[in-house]
Structure 1
Amino acid sequence: MSDAWPVMSIAEAHRRLTAPGGRFEIEEAVIRGIPTRVWKHAPPTLRDVFINGRAFKDREFIVYDDDRATYEAFARATLTLAHQLVADGVRKGDRVAVIMRNLPEWPVAFFAGVLTGAIVTPLNAWWTGAELQYGLADSGAKVAFVDDERLGRIAEHFDSLPDLERVYVARLKDETADPRVRRLDDVIGPVAGWAALPERPLPDVPLGPEDDATILYTSGTTGKPKGALGTHRNMTSNIGASGVSAARNFLRAGQPLPESDPHKLPQRTTLLVVPLFHATGLSATLSPTLNSGGKIVLMRRWDAEPAMRLIEREKVNSTGGVPTIAWQLIEHPARSRYDLSSLVAVTYGGAPSAPELVRKIAEVFPGSQPGNGWGMTETTATFTSHLGKDYENRPDSAGPAAPVGEMQIRDPADGVTVLPPGAVGELWVKGPQVVKGYWNKPEATAETFVDGWLRTGDLARLDEEGFLFIIDRAKDMLIRGGENIYCVEVENVLYDHPDVMDAAIVGVPHKTLGEEPAAVVHLKPGGTATEAELRAWVRERLAGFKVPVKVAFWPETLPRNANGKILKTELKKVFADETAAA
């Protein structure tokens, strides 16, 4: 490695990586009338991803408790189920819902739907029965794949779902008399038997890059969730984005590019601890892993010590999700008992992370690279990526966009004026990852998607080299007596305190100032910081009007939705209750 770093700019690294004939070559495609940069060699559709994965035949693909499935076993189960869907009358464009926890049956159901040409609609397995009823009704799902727990939530709503013709249940415990409900095991059997299922051909369904592939619902922190309608190209664009980010790091460090043929490389193992129904789990993890022959280890639910046990047993190379997961691995008192040396990447997104976390990952896991990024459901997960030395040198950034992506900072007042580097405004993005629009919501689509650009609602800035710095969600920014307070700025200062593991800033009403900042924090094990100490900590580092007027202590990790975003509406109730009591 060269002593000088970086040895080339982001722009030069991208120019070399995307040159004609290269793995990451870019071409221009006209998508819905808009010229768009796309990956020339990305798999055209998710069916191609499935076919690429099957080439790894005898490699293990999925591990869950005592269940283990090879690529060939997974392929046979998926094709068996796809033919069952065709027999059920599922046709191209029909919606097929997947609503279950992270089980081996989840990707089988997803890709079975894909192979029939259906628009696969993963719904949030954390939702209540009424919320699931909304998602099923809004999408018009014809078939649903659920687990036993989700069946219990939706069964009472069957009468209000006339479009729902069939429900397949994974790991069903008790029989049900409803004629629409069928055991998934009756079609594909248990995981241990998948390899013995008969060979079946691919369904004869024409698929193209711009065909509809998925509906992923937004997190719905305000109002009803909206279904982001994604294409096959949207879903497969993450494969190029994840690869180019790692390759860029080698060039920036003056190193030769490593071997890229996954058939010639050791298998990479990922401990997946975010839900598969979320864009990060599905688009940024499942599809790239399947395409490159990796192994995915699933957990029933996140728990730091069982996770460390799995990392040691399965020689896990990468994990992450949200910053809290990384913190819990770092701070866990039992960490020294486990061999975690196989970890080479600890990555996360979905929530602000403290700059200190980058340093801690490098210190605690010396062989691993910290990584983060920025994306939304509407960008089919990852839009920017930030790894290794770039991340260590800009720990408060979310990194640059992949070369197919474009970013602009626009004046929030008019949504048109493009602001210069360093100026804070609203982030607009464009690229092959940006979805078509919202399912059956033309007005919301017109407001958010403009001439190929996505209006993100995030306040951000770009530096001269194109590194993205997220400042705050526009609608979450506090205004105290006319002064703007970017919550993430105060949160990062709190994260820097040695006792703080998790922190969030929310607005509390004030009679004359409008609102003031208040903090909710979760302390690390053994942490003893007091409200007065934390307020003084912030006061020493930020302007007085940014200092939280109150600090509440939360007994566990702060509540988050499935996308990893802190549920600030829940945290505000802490202070609303105080006000009511007063």
Structure 2
Amino acid sequence: MASEPIIASDPSWPAMSLADAERLLTAPGAKFEMATLAIDGVETRIWKNAPPSLRWLAEAARAHGERVFTAYEDERVTYEANFRAIAVLAHRLRDMGIGAGDRVALAMRNLPEWPVAFFAGASIGAIMVPLNAWWTGAEMEYGLADSGARVLITDDERHHRLEAAYATLPALEHVFVARAAEPLTGIVTRLEDVIGTPHDWAALPDIGLPEATIAPDDDATIFYTSGTTGAPKGALGTHRNMMSNILSGGYSSARSFLRRGEAPAEPTPRVTLTVIPLFHVTACSAGMMGVIATGSTMIFMRKWDTIRAMEIIEREKVNITGGVPTIAWQLLEHPDRDKYDLSSLESIAYGGAPAAPELVKRIHAEFGAMPGNGWGMTETMATVTHHGAEEYLNRPTSAGPPVAVADLKIVADDGMTELPVGEIGELWARGPMIVKGYWNKPEATAATFVDGWVRTGDLARLDEEGFCYIVDRAKDMIIRGGENIYSSEVENVLYAHPAVTDAALIGIPHRILGEEPAAVVHLAPGAVTTEAELQGWVRQHLAAFKTPVAVRFVHETLPRNANGKILKKDLQGLFADRVA
């Protein structure tokens, strides 16, 4: 397949090649200078100037002083107040005997207490275990048992899902509950008894962090995979993994300036509306770390609501939002959008799921904001490729090129042969963001992590300039009578139809062909189309065998997990009438 054509309206773009931009940005003495280091015996390029640890970042963030770090409803927490709460909670954990290598689980919605708990544990060398707050009690119990967490810091809702399981978890010694509605007993106490409410944090004593020595490659986090196949696996990450994203994000931004012929701007504080959960690496590592490094503000919502989001964007002059493509579509398509001043938006970025090319263009055309995307996974602590601004407008079906410290390759089914440019195979990635492996799962680790590379399970291709195109998840590819059908290819065609704002292609069993493609779509408000029209639309653009044999329409946007991936297995039941 050829690269997508350059379609920038400015004929002078790009003003600089990717290779020249990389050489300039990573030159000796430059902010994005690289070095080579042996990590677990593998020579790895690293960002020379990345912060060494989460502890270092927490202490350095005090320099932002009275700037607002987190805002939730009427609670506005400054960087100074946030640090004081981190320090007090860190001392309490240390007094309980928590230290290097101990696991501290964190299960709550996006609240100001979330980053406080995260940095309090990480700053004394504990391994933080952010649990999926969308999980059932049984799923969270699995995470607690698998990680062997000694302490759980949670909110009232998650506490009630879990409290019956506390006695069955021998490693669990104490539970702190934020915003508890009822009295607590036994090993369970109120988090407010230690640090007070967010309104109180500015008045906490300035006691600093407890002593701890932390190296960049020390264990820092266990983030659980989405578990779309089998039980979730805990990806064991390091401080270097987390800190690499700060430089990776900055590098991508600086590269965009050079590509348009401008000098890179110094990072300045921005206001972000954070709607993706912090228990996901995109929000925690790629999002929150950059927010802190630049002294920016994170605004939390209890749950996504388009009207509420537009009110916040207008009132708070939000510069950046996103998370998953659905959010961007809902902002664009809402009938009351023109009632709100959304002109402060500079970027709408998302990850975890592919987006329709039409969405990329509309973000820029209708909001005047730049679209942003990238590729990563739990096992890469988020960012490996990054795609934004004119780069993304010109290649809207790409996930972007890798950042300078990362490498990509496409590998054939034999797991050994590297495929040439343009060929589709499994995407492998390496760099300082790749996690150590899976917690307590040596066989799965050996199968997935090979000599510094992670086998991603994504099918992809690379173009001549190194831009990555995610074609499908290997397990989502449909094989119809021996012919491969990549779901993203068909989904992009469906997205291009003016009536469609959400789409998924799945395989349904067929006695002779093995399986056939079928589509589930969600339409734009007021839009009307038919199964036959959409089938004809696909047939106009793709080979006939890729045309969905059936189309089902749903009133709501498609079900997704917390990482933004469509839960395709949940859609199979819509085609029960076609399954023999």
TM-score by length of 1: 0.97
**CA offsets 1:267-321 (integer angstroms, 9 cap, x no match):** 2111000000000110011111112211000000111110011011111110001
Asked if 1:540 corresponds to 2:540, the answer is yes
SS in 2 for 1:91: coil
CA distance in 2, matches of 1:486, 1:467: 18
Confirm or deny: 8 A CA contact 1:52 1:292 kept in the other structure. Answer: no
2 CA distance for matches of 1:234 and 1:427? Answer: 19
Instruction: Give the Cα–Cα distance (whole angstroms) in 1 for the partners of residues 489 and 514 of structure 2.
Output: 20
Shift of 1:159: 2.0
Q: Which moved more, 1:489-498 or 1:151-160?
A: 151-160
Q: Deviation at 1:232?
A: 0.2
Deviations 1:491-534 (A, max 9, x none): 00000011111000011000000000010111111011111111
Q: Tell me the residue number matched to 1:554.
A: 554
Q: Which runs of 5+ in 1 are unaligned?
A: none
Deviation of the 1:475 alpha carbon: 1.2
Change (3 A) 1:503 1:3: closer
CA apart distance, 1:83? 0.4
Partner of residue 301, structure 2? 299
Query: Could you say which residue in structure 1 is the equivalent of 2:266?
Result: 259
Gaps of 5+ in 2: 1-8
Listed one character per residue, the Cα deviations across residues 61-87 of structure 1 (whole Å, up to 9, x for unaligned) are 110000000000000011010001011
Write the distance in 1 (CA, Å) between the matches of 2:566 and 2:275: 17
CA distance in 2, matches of 1:362, 1:291: 26
> Equivalents in 2 of 1:256, 1:86: separation in Å?
46
**Partner residue, 2:244:** 237
- Deviation of residue 579 (structure 1)? 4.3
Please state whether the residue corresponding to 1:520 is helix, strand or coil: strand
State the partner residue of 2:522.
522
- The structure 1 segments of at least 4 consecutive aligned residues displaced by more than 2 Å after TM superposition are none
Alignment partner, residue 377 of structure 2: 376
SS in 2 for 1:408: strand
Q: Tell me the number of residue pairs that the alignment of Structure 1 and Structure 2 aligns.
A: 572
Distance of 1:259 and 1:35 partners within structure 2: 31
2:207 is aligned with 1:205: no
Contact 1:62 1:298 in 2 (8 A): yes
Provide the rounded CA distance (Å) in 1 between the counterparts of 2:531 and 2:168: 49
State the 1:201 CA deviation: 2.1
Which residue of structure 2 aligns with residue 487 of structure 1? 487
CA distance in structure 2 between the aligned counterparts of 1:532 and 1:36, rounded to whole angstroms: 52
Q: In the alignment, which residue of structure 2 is the partner of 1:286?
A: 288
The one-letter code sitting in structure 1 at the alignment partner of 2:217 is E
| 1:257, distance to aligned residue in structure 2 (A) | 1.9
Q: Deviations over 1:107-126 (max 9, x none)?
A: 00100111121000000000
Following superposition, the deviation at residue 343 of structure 1 comes to 0.6
Correspondence for 1:354: 356
1:461 aligns with 2:461: yes
1:126-205 alignment runs, 5 A limit? 126-177=134-185, 179-205=186-212
Q: Secondary structure at the match of 1:172?
A: coil
Q: Secondary structure at the match of 1:414?
A: coil
Q: 2:64 is paired with a residue of what secondary structure?
A: coil
Aligned to 1:478: 478
1:436 equivalent in alignment to 2:428? no
- The answer (yes or no) to whether the contact 1:2–1:254 under 8 Å persists in 2 is no
Q: Render the CA deviation track for 1:371-401: whole Å, top value 9, x for unaligned.
A: 1111100000111011111111111100000
Q: Could you say which residue in structure 2 is the equivalent of 1:24?
A: 32
Equivalents in 2 of 1:482, 1:244: separation in Å?
Answer: 43
Separation (CA, whole Å) in 1 of partners of 2:11 and 2:566: 40
Aligned mates of 1:312, 1:14 — CA distance in 2: 37
State whether residues 462 and 468 of structure 1, in contact with CA within 8 Å, keep that contact through their aligned partners in structure 2: yes
Identical aligned pairs, as a percentage?
A: 61
| 1:51 counterpart residue number | 59
Aligned residue in 1 for 2:271: 269
For residue 506 of structure 2, give the secondary structure of its aligned residue in structure 1: strand
Distance 1:259 1:44 in 2: 21
Q: Quick one: which amino acid aligns to residue 422 of structure 2?
A: G
Q: Which letter maps to 1:331?
A: E
Q: Does 1:331 align with 2:336?
A: no
Aligned position for 1:396: 397
TM-superposed CA distance for 1:347, in Å, is 0.6
- List per-residue Cα deviations over 1:121-163 (Å, max 9, x = no partner): 0000000011011000000000001100101111111122010
String of CA shifts for 1:508-564, please: whole Å, max 9, x gaps: 000000000010111111011111111111111111110001111111010000100
Q: Which amino acid is the alignment partner of residue 567 of structure 2? A: L
The answer to whether the 8 A contact 2:222-2:237 is kept is yes
Q: Partners of 2:24 and 2:150 in 1: how far apart?
A: 46
Q: What SS does the aligned partner of 1:283 have?
A: helix
Q: Residue 454 of structure 1 aligns to which amino acid in structure 2?
A: V
Equivalent position to 2:85, from 71, 77, 81: 77
